[in-house]
Amino acid sequence: MDGFYGRILKVDLSEEKYSIEPVSDEILKKYLGGKGLASYLLVELNPPGVDPLDPANSLIFATGPVTGSAIWGSCRYGVFTKSPQTGLYSESYAGGKVPEAIDSCGFDAIVIQGQSAIPTVLGVNPEGVDFHAAGDIWGMDTFKAEDAVLERFGRSGESVRRRGAVVIGPAGENLVRFAVIENDYWRSAGRTGVGAVMGSKHLKAVVFQGNRKRSLYDANAVSAFSKKVSLEGKDNPGAKAYKSMGTTMMVKIVNDAGAFPTRYWSEGKCEHWEKINAEALHERCQVTPRACLKCFLACGRMTTVQKGRHAGLKLEGPEYETIYAFGGLCLIDSIEEIVYLNDICDRLGMDTITAGNLCGFTIEAARRGKIDYKIDYGDADAIAELLKKIANPPNPPLPKGGEGGIFPFTKGGQGRFSPLAKGGRGDFEDIGDVLARGIKFAAREWDLEDIAVHVKGLEPPGYDPRVLKGMGLGYATSDRGACHLRATFYKAELSGMIDADVIEGKAKLFLDFEDRLTLFDALILCRFYRDIYPWEQLKEIIHSVTGLDGDQKALQKKARAISDIVRRFNLREGMKPEDERLPKSLHRKLEKTGDIITEQELDHMLKDYYSLHGWDEQGQLSS
């Protein structure tokens, strides 16, 4: 079938074996690629109830039918697994250049199972895989690891069209529940702990190299479509804003709306917003736009700190979400310090959204006398120190099957009891040990479940649902926990497409966004092209790439098939109706403004949403 390779690669790290298997057209027509195919494989291949850190948990890399084509926004890959952060469905996406290297290996999906006996780098090519001992790079930060593996394999262009690597940092090796997989130095598959799953398999890096390309149903149509989009896109005000300011433009927009999570979710407006917004970044640092392959939006910021103690520090970022997490939740009032904390997370391989949330939560725990630890709002050095402790906990969790191996997983034994927590369980004396296990664990440990902000174990990004109520529906129902990307409904609410306060009828528009973006993830397309590819354009892309026809209704049916299979996975893995609720503290009024989302308002939207999906009132599938 055009647009697909029609084959998947299955790798067993335990046995150092692999197989190449066909995928039927029937499956591809039903689920497309990317999220659709990977979710189908996850349901089929994962043993029900498997521990996320068990060798049997599949780690699936997928590209989509548009990857490698001229379609703008097409250079992305997805990682799919069972999350060690939520115990449920995990998906995470990243851009850069590496997605085309993954795709050039000629597989619709690459499924990695098992656990290597020693630290390993996996080489993937169109004919199969090779296994390389990687003891010498185990322990390296993500940047050094990426350099080291590409040095070993050679860089793109030397003998193959595309070559690139994905890596984990120390956090992934130590099974920190929110460890990321990184590529192109600064691009991260950042949410739900995919890096910890890779670490549990003792897999430090995967290098992809190949020369394959997908066959397109109508290559001329793809090329004409892309030309048209770029010509029209040049004058698109949204495109111009992304290029000139990147996602940092959201600081002002969200703060003006009163939805900028501040002081660990207690306020919605940040007093020092002008010190951490787009202007602050662009005036105080040297910044140039940077793009993934096949992108004219160029939302990335290549930033170099100009002055102060971090002068010379260079990275791609910070993104809006990192600014909100450290600048809002932790009250860091300097853009340079946020760049610094961003850099630490990148090197250690940790998700900045969860990291900032956990630091804010720790500050509250210290202020409330729940822990004896010196940290406070605005203290960048204490936060930096905490991040390092989290990534290198003395008693990291053990991967299943890792006991007794050659790895120094335990430095002092498991389960030491201590008086660090007052009133909680007090299992661990080291704060890194507690936080490395994620917010749910820390909240129980410190007896602070009442204020912990997460859904299904995943902390929300930077849009307060007490103001943007549709985001509340998004956080409650997203497959992977509190996620802004499933429907990106902040866009609809902040742009005035629908009143942020309205409840009646909101689920209908929400689902329209969700369906379209589910197809984005099946193709796999960048979210920021959502205004450029409404339904008509999406239809054109799918037809020209795969030959599949269908009006909006037919496409929505495909999206729903994907949503259903993911829900089936989550229900099978133990998701309960009460998991699809907001945390208690988000039903309390925001300080200063008094904004609130009530449980009744959320219930109303949930009921509508489930009904539109064809699920029962508890969100269960009918069969």
The footprint of ligand SF4 (CB under 6 A) covers 73, 95, 291-292, 295, 297-300, 526, 528
Q: Quick one: 56 or 485, whose CB is closer to ligand SF4?
A: 485
CB-based contact 86:457 (threshold 8 Å): yes
Question: What is the closest distance, in whole angstroms, from the C-beta atom of residue 563 to ligand SF4 in the complex?
Answer: 23
Scanning the structure block, which residue is given the tokens 């449980």? 599
Question: What is the closest distance, in whole angstroms, from the C-beta atom of residue 103 to ligand SF4 in the complex?
Answer: 15
Nearest to 165 by CA among 134, 127, 200, 196: 134
Q: Quick one: 33 or 170, whose CB is closer to ligand SF4?
A: 33
Beta-strand pair 109-113/7-12: parallel
Q: Quick one: 187 or 456, whose CB is closer to ligand SF4?
A: 187
Q: Quick one: 27 or 353, whose CB is closer to ligand SF4?
A: 353
Question: What is the closest distance, in whole angstroms, from the C-beta atom of residue 306 to ligand SF4 in the complex?
Answer: 23
The widest CA-to-CA distance across the chain, in whole angstroms, is 68
Scanning the structure block, which residue is given the tokens 């010498």? 136
Give phi and psi for 479, each to the nearest 5. -55, -35
Question: What is the closest distance, in whole angstroms, from the C-beta atom of residue 387 to ligand SF4 in the complex?
Answer: 24
Question: What is the closest distance, in whole angstroms, from the C-beta atom of residue 205 to ligand SF4 in the complex?
Answer: 22
Query: What is the Rg, in whole angstroms, of the alpha carbon atoms belonging to the chain?
Result: 23
Q: Quick one: 206 or 293, whose CB is closer to ligand SF4?
A: 293
Helix (H, G, I), strand (E, B) or coil at 81: strand
Q: Quick one: 299 or 482, whose CB is closer to ligand SF4?
A: 299
Q: Quick one: 67 or 113, whose CB is closer to ligand SF4?
A: 67
- Give the Cβ contact number of residue 263 at 10 Å: 18
Question: What is the closest distance, in whole angstroms, from the C-beta atom of residue 523 to ligand SF4 in the complex?
Answer: 13
Question: What is the closest distance, in whole angstroms, from the C-beta atom of residue 319 to ligand SF4 in the complex?
Answer: 9
In whole angstroms, give the CA distance from residue 430 to residue 586.
29
Question: What is the closest distance, in whole angstroms, from the C-beta atom of residue 339 to ligand SF4 in the complex?
Answer: 18
Tokens at residue 520, please? 């984005």
Nearest to 299 by CA among 280, 275, 321: 321
The full length of the chain comes to 623
Environment class of residue 381 by beta-carbon count within 10 Å: exposed (0-12), middle (13-18) or buried (19+)? Answer: exposed
- Residues with Cβ within 8 Å of 94's Cβ and at least 6 positions away in sequence, in order, are 76, 77, 79, 181, 182, 183, 187, 188, 189, 190
Q: Quick one: 10 or 301, whose CB is closer to ligand SF4?
A: 301
Q: Please report the DSSP string for 431-457 in residue order.
A: HHHHHTT-HHHHHHHTT-TTT---BTT
Q: Quick one: 111 or 297, whose CB is closer to ligand SF4?
A: 297
Question: What is the closest distance, in whole angstroms, from the C-beta atom of residue 522 to ligand SF4 in the complex?
Answer: 17
Q: Please report the DSSP string for 281-317 in residue order.
A: HHHHEEEEEE--TT-SS--EEEEEE-SGGGTT-EEE-
